[in-house]
A and B are shown apart, each in its own frame.
Chain A
Amino acid sequence: MTAVSSRRQLNYIAAQAADARVNLEIETEGMTLNIGPQHPATHGTLRIVAKLDGEQVIAADPVMGYMHRGYEKLSEVRTYPQVTTLINRIDWLGSFANEVPFILAAEQLMEVEAPPRSQWIRTVLFEMSRIANIVLFLGDMAVQVGAVTPVFFAFRDREHILNQIEAATGGRFHPNFDRIGGLKDDLPKGWIVETKQVMKKMRSFCNEIEELVMGNEIFQARTRGIGVVPADIGLSYGLSGANIRGSGVDWDVRRDGTTGAGGLVHNELDWRVWTHPDGDSFSRFWVRLQEVRESTRMVDQLLDGLPSGPIMAKVPRIIKVPAGEAYVETENPLGVMGYYVVSKGGLAPFRVKIRSASFNNMSITPWLLTGVYVPDIITILGSLYFILGDIDR
């Protein structure tokens, strides 16, 4: 009798112990997932070291510099006109916009002002490179969320813009067209009419994307409320461009810029800055879509009011920039881009510091990615929209 009961007791105790062992929360080590440097979602060679617990991100750390090309240093051994060739390659989707702030800084140092016609054409090309850049984002964001088709439409319609840029400058991707004191050439014959038709096409592309991607319930489910950047956090990380306007901050250097507004004529146009209060991935997408529409309207206005006159100011053949320093920033497709140029009076700049938008936009990722799921890493990175050349330079 006692033996049976004690065996029962032993069994009971053993069962309890087994239960306890199972019920103990199992300590597991997290997994470290290297997203990149070779990964389709990073548009190049960015690496994100993500520490995962299951599919949840505990910590994410972007590792930059795989594509560092040393443009700041290289600029010091090139003459001012040669530097634009290099800096074309920073944000390679909207190349012309890279040249503008550097040229403006050099003009500021030399105290040269480009004639009005070249200022207006500069602004046209500036806005067109913005369209070329962001159109690709609109298609690419759909790929990040899993829809393959819209990116083909984006490539198809970006072609029209690139054709116009090529017709005006001779270069599809890297125009190298901006000069200190003006532009290399005037616009070719018939360009204005064609460009206006292209702008119409871009507006219809925006409508298409709005229906195909933005109106899609799955797209909204994947982006709304995901990757929320509060305005104060975004500002403290130095976010700019559509990323900060997507958080409801009404700030656009094209309108509010103080340092380098001399070379671009946005303040003579009728346009508005779009903001969205939510701060999530969806709002960043939404703001960019509206900005493409706004840019097409701006180009139309610019082409209507194009002043006549020369396109080059009087500048010496061999450009020597007097000693001094200048910082000029403009609202580039990816955000605020600035050049701090220090001259000691020589043929080449003494020092060039490039403030590129994507570098700062990326810096928020450790804060933003903590706690999200692996699929959301990709949509958040996609919606922050960086270009590797713009991060690493």
Chain B
Amino acid sequence: MSTTQVFAELAYWQQTGIRVGAALAAVLLVAGALVYMHLFKAVSFMQSRLGPMEAGPYGSLQLLAEVGKHIQKEDIFPAKADRFVFGAAPFVVLASTFLLVVVVPAGPDAWFIDHHNSDLGIYLGLAVSSVSVLGILMAGWGSSNKYSLLGGLRATGQLIAYELPLILAVVGVVIQAGTMNMADIVYAQANGEIFGLGIVGNPYILTQGVAFIIFLIAMQAELAQAPFDMPVAESELVTGYMTEYSGMRFLLFFIGEFATAGVFAAVASVLFLGGWYIPGIDPGADVMNLLGPLVMLVKIVGLTFLVFWTRFTMPRFREDQLQRLAWKFLIPIALANIVVTGILKVAF
């Protein structure tokens, strides 16, 4: 009996419960793993230090200790803060992450939205990923702090500017795959061939390499990581829109930051790296429901390592410089990529 049949026999509320649980696990466990592997360890080794070593073996339980610490803290509202907006902002940011993870398939039947009956896919993903801008603007405005306000405004300008190259980079993939359905994009890569060679399929990083690089740069900017971390800029705006947050609400922002990195990496690995597909195994096989999430996790860890490696190596762009990069370089290149992809698609 296939996994689909087992799942179909459950009641609707049971299915929903499993999906919610899976989404929480997909976001929080991945975020935790990324924090530990990249922020605590990989970066520490780059900076000639060990990172946390006390809590658990090699500091593996440090994250639990940090969460426990943040939960115990007082929930502070600044005196002149707009209480509702200030309080709701982290949830809005986190909601966008959870909505984005919904579109990512991790196996032929391991999905949150039905890829067999719905073509929403990447379209929905790109739409909901913009919601986080609202949360950040809310945080910047609601804190009634000048640093936060500057950070929030910078973030808004930046996120809007880099949304465009992000979307335009995806358009190239959509044209080549001929679908917006995330699962079908994986199948298209698995069954594709380059010049008649179909050994590894056709992961779009090979044919859409330009789009992949643009996607990674725009992703870096969407995540507000260095060199695009002008909105948080520790050394000048303290932490920008997060300045006034502490305790649990800060933790939500923090989780949001890393979870969004993981989820964007998941989207990128579906679009460009062939998703859950392994060369040699039929991507529709039942076993891929178990292997798929692991394959995805490996790709997510690899891509997020790039993100954090860049983050801890590069200085940051000034606000006008990063706007110039988006509008004068990334968007024209992305448009050219679409044109070339379209011509080749029609020609072959």
Interface residues of A (CB under 8 A from B): 31, 33, 39-41, 55, 142-149, 152-153, 156, 213, 216, 218-219, 221-222, 373-378
Distance in angstroms from A143 CB to nearest chain B CB is 6
Q: Is the CB of A218 within 8 A of B317?
A: yes
Q: Is the CB of A144 within 8 A of B317?
A: no
Interface residues of B (CB under 8 A from A): 43, 46-49, 146-147, 150, 226-227, 229-230, 233-238, 312-321
Q: Given A218-B227, A222-B318, A373-B320 in contact, is the A33-B235 Cβ separation under 8 Å?
A: no
Q: Given A146-B229, A156-B48, A374-B150 in contact, is the A218-B235 Cβ separation under 8 Å?
A: no
Q: A146-B235, A221-B317 are in contact. List 7 more A-B contacts (CB 8 A).
A: A41-B235, A146-B226, A146-B229, A147-B312, A147-B314, A216-B315, A375-B318
Q: Given A33-B146, A153-B48, A374-B150 in contact, is the A216-B235 Cβ separation under 8 Å?
A: no
Interface centre among B48, B313, B314, B315 (most CB of A within 10 A): B315
Complex Cα distance, B235 from A31, in Å, reads 20
Distance in angstroms from A212 CB to nearest chain B CB is 8
Distance in angstroms from A70 CB to nearest chain B CB is 30
Q: Which chain B residue has the least Cβ–Cβ distance from A141?
A: B315
Q: Is the CB of A218 within 8 A of B47?
A: no
Residue in contact with A152 in the complex, picked from B49, B147, B314, B319, CB distance below 8 Å: B49
Chain B residues lying within 8 Å of A219, measured Cβ to Cβ, are 315
Q: Given A31-B146, A149-B312 in contact, is the A378-B235 Cβ separation under 8 Å?
A: yes
Distance in angstroms from B251 CB to nearest chain A CB is 21
Q: Given A40-B235, A146-B229 in contact, is the A55-B150 Cβ separation under 8 Å?
A: yes
Chain B residues lying within 8 Å of A33, measured Cβ to Cβ, are 146-147, 150
Q: Is the CB of A152 within 8 A of B315?
A: no
Q: Which chain B residue has the least Cβ–Cβ distance from A40?
A: B235
In the assembled complex, 27 residue pairs joining A and B whose CB atoms fall closer than 8 Å, in A order, are: A31-B146, A39-B238, A40-B238, A55-B150, A145-B315, A146-B227, A146-B233, A146-B235, A146-B314, A146-B315, A147-B315, A147-B316, A149-B313, A153-B47, A216-B314, A216-B315, A218-B227, A218-B314, A222-B317, A222-B318, A222-B321, A373-B319, A373-B320, A374-B150, A375-B236, A375-B318, A375-B319
Q: Is the CB of B314 within 8 A of A40?
A: no
Interface centre among A142, A147, A216 (most CB of B within 10 A): A147
What are the nearest 5 A-B pairs in CB distance?
A146-B316, A152-B47, A145-B315, A378-B236, A147-B315
Chain B residues lying within 8 Å of A40, measured Cβ to Cβ, are 234-235, 238
Q: Is the CB of A41 within 8 A of B319?
A: no
Q: Is the CB of B318 within 8 A of A373?
A: yes
Complex Cα distance, B229 from A40, in Å, reads 16
Complex Cα distance, B49 from A152, in Å, reads 8
Chain A residues lying within 8 Å of B318, measured Cβ to Cβ, are 221-222, 373, 375-376
Distance in angstroms from A381 CB to nearest chain B CB is 10
Interface centre among B47, B236, B316, B320 (most CB of A within 10 A): B236
